[in-house]
Amino acid sequence: MTRRHVARLACVVAVCGLLAGLPAGCKQPDTSSSHEALNGTVEALHADTFELTAMLDDHRAERAKPATVACLFTKDTEVYVNDRFASFDAIAVGDTIELVGYFEPDNPRGERFVVSFANITRAEPPPAEPELPRPTLPSTQPKEK
């Protein structure tokens, strides 16, 4: 083998070694999320602080969270009533509510659930059918020139 072959072989081995080491240095992104989904019924509303109290339907013993939870709505919280965008004012006591958010552990007043998304389901009749103009057929008479 000549010096040129040895140099090429050493270069190929070095590149292969670098490529083989790259995947070992990459870490999978952390896919865990602190967000949870809760279902329940609205028990109390505090419009001045944008908070509500909800009685959870899906309380599990292993969750170690209270069956009643204080929920905080922020300016970024999305509220929907029957899948239509609404404001915090549209929420009423007794509404069935689905919440997505996270528990705020560092709160001196106790643990609160910070809501990112809220969906309220109410039994409402469907909206009235809109009045649409009656379609007309084009004239079948030939145009005059």
Q: 45: domain CATH number?
A: 2.40.50.320
Spatial separation of the C-alpha atoms in residues 45 and 51, rounded to whole Å: 6
Q: Is residue 57 part of a domain?
A: yes
Q: Is residue 59 part of a domain?
A: yes
The residue count for the chain: 145
pTM over 0.85: no
Domain count within the chain = 1
First CA to last CA distance, the chain:
95
- The reported pLDDT for the residue numbered 32 is 62
Q: Is residue 1 part of a domain?
A: no
Q: Is residue 145 part of a domain?
A: no
Residues 6+ apart with CB under 8 A from 85: 78, 79
Q: Is residue 16 part of a domain?
A: no
Q: Is residue 10 part of a domain?
A: no
Q: Is residue 126 part of a domain?
A: no
Q: Is residue 26 part of a domain?
A: no
Query: Could you tell me the sign of the dihedral formed by the alpha carbons of 123, 98, 45, 86, in that order?
Result: negative
Q: Quote the distance between the C-alpha of residue 9 and its chain's center.
A: 54
Spatial separation of the C-alpha atoms in residues 52 and 38, rounded to whole Å: 14
pLDDT digits (tens, 9 = 90+) for 110-141: 678 999 999 998 888 877 888 988 888 876 66
Is 27 or 127 the better-scoring residue by pLDDT?
127
Query: Structural domain of residue 106, as residue ranges?
Result: 36-121
